[in-house]
Amino acid sequence: MSSQDIPEETLPSKQGDTREGAVTVKGDPFADPGLPPHEHRVQDIDERAARRSERAVAFMFTLSMLATVGFIAAYLAIPIDKNIYVFPLGHVSAMNFTLGLTLGVALFCIGAGAVHWARTLMSDEERIDERHPIEASPEVKAKVMADFAEGASESAMGRRPLIRNTMFGALALMPLSALFLFGGLGPKPGTKLRKSKWAAGKMLVNQNTMQPLRPEDVQVGSLTFAMPQGMSEEDHDFQVQIAKAALMIVRLRPEDIKDKQELDWSVDGIVAFSKICTHVGCPISLYEQQTHHVLCPCHQSTFDLSDGGRVVFGPAGHALPQLRIKVNDKGYLEAMGDFAEPVGPAFWERG
Amino acid sequence: MSTAETKAAGSKPGRKAPAGERVADWADGRLGIYSLAKANMRKIFPDHWSFMLGEVCLYSFLIIILTGVYLTLFFHPSMNEVVYHGSYVPLQGQRMSEAFSSTLHISFDVRGGLLIRQIHHWAALIFLAGMFVHMMRVFFTGAFRKPREINWLFGFLLFFLGMFTGFTGYSLPDDLLSGTGVRFVDGAILSVPLIGTYLSMLVFGGEFPGGDFVARFYSVHILLLPGIMLGLVVAHLILVIYHKHTQYPGPGRTEKNVVGMPLLPVYMAKAGGFFFLVFGAIAAIAAIATINPIWEIGPYRPDQVSTGAQPDWYMGFAEGLIRVMPGWEINIWGHTLVLGVFIPLVIFPLVLFAIALWPFLEAWATGDKREHHLLDRPRNAPTRTAFGVAWIAAYFVMLIGGGNDLWATHFHLSLNAITWFVRIGFFVIPVLSFIATRRICMGLQRRDREKVLHGRESGIIKRLPHGEFVEVHEPLTQEQLHTLTAHEQPKPLELEPEVDKNGVARKASMGQKMKVRLSKSMYGEDKFVPKATAEEYQEITSGHGHH
Amino acid sequence: MKKLSARRRHPLAAVVVLLFALAVTGGLYAAFAPAESAKADDTAQSLAIEEGKKLYSVGCASCHGTGAQGTSDGPSLVGVGSAAVDFQVRTGRMPMQQQGAQAPRKKPVYTQAETDQLAAYISSLGAGPAVPSKDQYSPDGGDIAKGGELFRTNCAQCHNFTGKGGALSNGKFAPSLEDVDPKHIYEAMQTGPQNMPSFPDTTMSQKNKKDIIAYLDEVNTSKSESPGGLNLGGLGPVSEGLFGWIFGLGALIALAIWVAARTAKAKKS
């Protein structure tokens, strides 16, 4: 027999006719009938059901205790570098998996126990609280206004405007000193954003092999990244410098180059472009060797390397800067100067 | 005074009070806890799942603080370069910042460190998602109306600050993904006219990336922003208690009362229990799903990048704006105006603030100065609901834009086509969803009206003696009738007559005219379906069996 | 039969019928769809240019021209080398099923022996990168950490941090590298298939390539470790966000509904 089938006689008699909060307007079919009468749960009238609930709550609290013991055991016993295969998660850290699950169960069971307790054993009779307006009563307001007027007149602020005005002036100026203190956070921009480590005579060093590049190393359709000769990862300002100097080298067939200046600045179709996107500065190097487009992986600006690095799609505002290169007398590629314009994102003084 | 007297009277002379009571007495003498408890111990909270969304946020915020404090014990907010010699093989011998290597240390060499990191990050994503949904619940039910406008703003500010707290935290490990995000921040700062370069130098202590931003973001992430947020959370909760919770309309529920369960014991057990449920669920998620595996991502280098570079979801809206904006750039008089970056930077807060300011617009257009504690059903406020849906549509269109590359690869679409879709969709989809939502709301209002007047369709088909088939409609109970008709219907504002009673002419100001026009467009005659009146109802029910 | 008709009205009946119909259609499709008939390795012939040329004129010449000089439908194959042939044919990219933005990886049509014959024929037309030997492409002995750095510099921009793939412009994409044969990864770097640029030995040494393969072998196979749990496709914040919304917030809302719901009332009678 299910506990749901409770004979009617064991149910408490229905509540009286007067309901809490009822607003009875004669003849209004939509009038508020007030709170519906409270109905009892199985647990309220069947002690066996209540005891079952009690056991369920206690079971969850006990499970939580066991899980905590499990957590401590796992913390102490499992080697931190041990990996296990768990379907369908894959090869996961045994420690992370066990600690997380035991902690999760320990916490969850406390919550589930408390909620089950509240839902089945604590009273579920709805109650009513009255609300009171937030606004103060007119008497309170009048009192406050009077107090304020009294206080204000005692301060003599209204009668002595000189004090008032100079005080406001002082308070308004004071934060300026704080503002100036923040000036120490960084240097003035100066020409820092305009210059990179590239200079005339600096060879193009291949970032994979750390060797200077020769024209014959660079094949049509290949992609190579280079940095200026003399730079090293150990330099203290390496990150700042590579953020401007990073270079991407591709080789096109000279007849494919549409832009005259690009052709002039290249060596046998080898062109060197800044790797830093002119939009907001992501390293852009998704080079499609058949279309000669490079795509930025961050915001999808697309540049055409066969046409002076022109923007063909996306949010970038100007072409990729090209580095003018030549072959030196030892047969290596070298820069003929710095980039002609600032690399990376545009800024107010860029012009 | 009165408490002391009752206490003296209540406890029998010559017998010591139980220990708990003595502790409470001690505290009351110093803190006045009895008066506080008198007002609040049996305070009523209405029960509804949608009222617990705020609790999801509160609890995930607490979890973030707890786990965050733990992480600070191990994390080194430094950009000094080190060579890694820890236990993760694929990075051994690599140069990286101390911030990155200490994050690897937390993940691989601290017992339980990876779990706490993952709980922290998952809780952050859920915190922001929870705030978003909670805010939408408040919006669509009109819970922001007087007296709760300030609390609505507090909540909105929490969402707004939460985004930046999340972003600064995501940037701390100095990994290749977050570094790319910081690079974007630098580009965005540089786009600010006049002072952009100066700001950039100040933020990064020189040129990007410099050696300072991790330490600076660290103090912003663990001190400044969470401090402000904690204050706002406390204020938010105090106001919730002070105002008492709103409730859905229903029998026995009025503007003057609040119906529900008392704080002690039911609500305390449910809310307290829910904290453990939330924490347990997030811990379990952290056990089974990885988040931000920085060891796969690698240390940041400004010349390296990965495809699929996205911020966490809550910044996806900004990411979408920046991705789909055309590359406008104006060069005049030796200066560059980087509109392609600056416009999204300005639109981003404007769109977000649009929803924050709606309550004030609505109060202005309705001229309603009363308190509201009964919630609206979204259908009964068609213009507001339509605006909310349009706002969400704009937000989600931009989220799609923020992940355009992944949608492209996973649905075999062209990246460029998605970008164009988002460019157009950002303007068109909100308008369409506004129109559609308002119509749907009015359709639902009409259905409510039918239901009140003619009863519920029972699904029972009856054949009448002369062969006609009719569906039997069951009349609604009085509870249902009341619930469906309890709401107020809006009346648009009217301009006051140009000539008043005394024959003195006066002109309506521009502002007033605008207000009336707005009010009419929001609440005019064709913007709602008149609800059933008692007279109509009686007329129909008296003509018995007449459908 | 009576039972069946009684259950026909069950709410789940429609779902069952739908599933059944889907299964039948799928099965029929699989049975009748043009099967990619694997060509039998009929002879144990050694590499022969003649055989390769025959295969070429049947399977490739329509797009690449009878002398492999290229047509409007396909590029010239003179000088692409045997590595390119091996990569394109053995990853199933060639022959193409249809013209499109990009030829995707699929089940190969030609056997290794036939591919070798084709490769022999193509490399007889002009010198190009040769198929690498096993000790060149084997991940054994590669420097994983160095490979990771090289991968992030040269490859991750298109293929993602751990080689999960990514989008390119106008519907093109960089494919996932998961469980791709190291030999094919090596060949792809050498030859630059389709829109991928090449990374010839002159700019990326053989040791560099071996390191990259060793890195991929460590982080991007079905056996790779993911200490934190499910890696959610390795796609980063987008999939994390979706997971957080659906399973994180979704689970919490489900819990909230349970917490707030009224407990079942006792039934009367």
Structure-derived torsion over alpha carbons of residues A277, A279, A282, A287, reported in degrees to the nearest 10: -40
Residue B417, H or E segment: helix B415-454
Distance from CA of A296 to the nearest CA of C (A): 8
Distance from CA of B93 to the nearest CA of A (A): 13
Give the pLDDT score at C44.
38
Q: Do A124 and C157 touch (CB under 8 A)?
A: no
The amino acid present at C3, given as its one-letter code, is: K
Residue of A nearest to B255 (CA): A131
Neighbours of C62 (CB within 10 A): 13
Q: Is the pLDDT of residue A323 over 80?
A: yes
Distance from CA of A257 to the nearest CA of C (A): 17
**CB < 8 Å to B276, chain A:** 107-108, 110-112, 114
Q: CB distance from B459 to chain C under 8 Å? A: no
Token couple for B537: 């109802």
Same domain, C138 and C112: no
Q: What is the pLDDT of chain C when averaged over all its residues? A: 83
Give the end of a domain, one of C125, C155, C188: C125
**Sign of torsion over alpha carbons B194, B197, B202, B204:** positive
The enclosing domain of C64 has a CATH number of: 1.10.760.10
Give the pLDDT score at B544.
53
Three-class SS of residue B80?
coil
Q: Which residue has the higher pLDDT, C9 or C132?
A: C132
Q: Is the pLDDT of residue C267 over 90?
A: no
Structure-derived torsion over alpha carbons of residues C108, C112, C113, C119, reported in degrees to the nearest 10: 90
Q: CB distance from C267 to chain A under 8 Å? A: yes
Residue C37's pLDDT band (boundaries 50, 70, 90)?
very low
Q: CB distance from B414 to chain C under 8 Å? A: yes
Domain with CATH 1.20.810.10 in chain B: 53-347
Q: Do C172 and A216 touch (CB under 8 A)?
A: no
Q: What is the pLDDT of residues B217-266, one digit of tens each?
A: 999 999 999 999 999 999 999 999 999 999 999 999 999 999 999 999 99
Distance from CA of B257 to the nearest CA of A (A): 4
Q: Do A288 and C224 touch (CB under 8 A)?
A: no
Give the pLDDT score at C23.
74
Region A275-290: mean pLDDT is 92
Q: Is the pLDDT of residue A16 over 50?
A: no
Distance from CA of C249 to the nearest CA of A (A): 15
Distance from C-alpha of B55 to C-alpha of C102, rounded to nearest angstrom:
50
Distance from C-alpha of A25 to C-alpha of A17, rounded to nearest angstrom:
16
Three-class SS of residue B264?
helix
Chains that touch A (3 or more CB pairs under 8 A): B, C
Q: Is the pLDDT of residue C269 over 70?
A: no
Q: Do A107 and B337 touch (CB under 8 A)?
A: no
Give the pLDDT score at C199.
94
Mutate which of B148, B216, B276 to disrupt the A interface (most A C-beta within 10 Å)? B276
Q: Is the pLDDT of residue A337 over 50?
A: yes
Q: CB distance from C198 to chain A under 8 Å? A: yes
Strands (DSSP E) contained in A125-252 are 127-130, 204-206, 223-228, 247-251
Residue C156 falls inside a structural domain = yes
β partners of residue A226: A206, A247
Same domain, C139 and C211: yes
Angstrom CA distances, B294 to A299, B158, B179, C144, C178, stand at: 21, 27, 11, 16, 19
Residue C103 falls inside a structural domain = yes
Q: Do A42 and C168 touch (CB under 8 A)?
A: no
Distance from C-alpha of B54 to C-alpha of A79, rounded to nearest angstrom:
39
Model-level pTM?
A: 0.90
Distance from C-alpha of B365 to C-alpha of A337, rounded to nearest angstrom:
64
Same domain, C214 and C138: yes
The single-letter DSSP state of residue A212 is B
Distance from C-alpha of A117 to C-alpha of A106, rounded to nearest angstrom:
17
Give the pLDDT score at A6.
43
Number of domains in chain C: 2
DSSP codes joined into one string, B160-185: HHHHHHHHHHHHTT-BHHHHHHHHHH
The CATH topology of domain B53-347 is Cytochrome Bc1 Complex; Chain C (1.20.810)
DSSP codes joined into one string, A139-157: HHHHHHHHHHHHHHHHHTT
Give the pLDDT score at B409.
85
Residue A286, H or E segment: strand A286-288
Residue A243, H or E segment: helix A238-245
Q: CB distance from C45 to chain A under 8 Å? A: no
Interface of A with B in 123-142 (CB under 8 A): 123-124, 126-131, 133-134
How far is Cα of residue B133 from the mean position of the Cα atoms in its chain? Answer: 5
For a pLDDT cut of 70, what percent of chain C falls above it? 84
Q: CB distance from C158 to chain A under 8 Å? A: yes
Tens of pLDDT, residue by residue, chain B (547 residues): 444 444 444 445 567 889 999 999 999 999 999 999 998 899 999 999 999 999 999 999 999 999 999 999 999 999 999 999 999 999 999 999 999 999 999 999 999 999 999 999 999 999 999 999 999 999 999 999 999 999 999 999 999 999 999 999 999 999 999 999 999 999 999 999 999 999 999 999 999 999 999 999 999 999 999 999 999 999 999 999 999 999 999 999 999 999 999 999 999 999 999 999 999 999 999 999 999 999 999 999 999 999 888 999 999 999 999 999 999 999 988 899 999 999 999 999 999 999 999 999 999 998 889 999 999 999 999 999 999 999 999 999 999 999 888 888 888 888 889 999 999 999 999 999 999 999 999 999 999 999 999 888 888 888 888 888 888 888 888 889 999 998 888 888 887 777 766 777 777 788 888 888 899 888 888 888 888 888 888 888 776 544 4
Question: What are the two backbone dihedrals, phi and then psi, of residue B243, each rounded to the nearest 5 degrees?
Answer: -75, -20
Distance from CA of B290 to the nearest CA of A (A): 9
The single-letter DSSP state of residue B108 is H
Q: Is the pLDDT of residue C177 over 70?
A: yes
Mutate which of B190, B246, B370, B419 to disrupt the A interface (most A C-beta within 10 Å)? B190
Give the end of a domain, one of C91, C125, C159: C125
Distance from C-alpha of B118 to C-alpha of B113, rounded to nearest angstrom:
9
Residue C43 falls inside a structural domain = no
Q: Is the pLDDT of residue A22 over 70?
A: no
ipTM for the predicted complex:
0.90
Region A34-62: mean pLDDT is 93
Distance from C-alpha of B145 to C-alpha of B150, rounded to nearest angstrom:
10
Same domain, C105 and C162: no
Task: State which residues form the domain around C187.
Answer: 134-219
**CB < 8 Å to B417, chain C:** 171
Neighbours of A169 (CB within 10 A): 10
**CB < 8 Å to C155, chain B:** none
Nearest Cβ partner for C249 among B129, B274, B293: B129
Token couple for A156: 């003599």
Distance from C-alpha of A177 to C-alpha of A174, rounded to nearest angstrom:
6
Pairing of β A223-228 and β A204-206: antiparallel
Q: CB distance from A255 to chain B under 8 Å? A: no
Residue C156, H or E segment: helix C156-159
Q: CB distance from C204 to chain A under 8 Å? A: yes
Distance from CA of C205 to the nearest CA of A (A): 7
Q: What is the pLDDT of residues A220-268, one digit of tens each?
A: 999 999 999 999 999 999 999 999 999 999 999 999 999 999 999 999 9
Residue C96 falls inside a structural domain = yes
**CB < 8 Å to B296, chain C:** 161-162, 219, 234
Q: Do B479 and A33 touch (CB under 8 A)?
A: yes
Give the pLDDT score at C30.
54
Cis peptide bond upstream of B265, omega within 30: yes
Contact C182, A310 (CB under 8 A): no
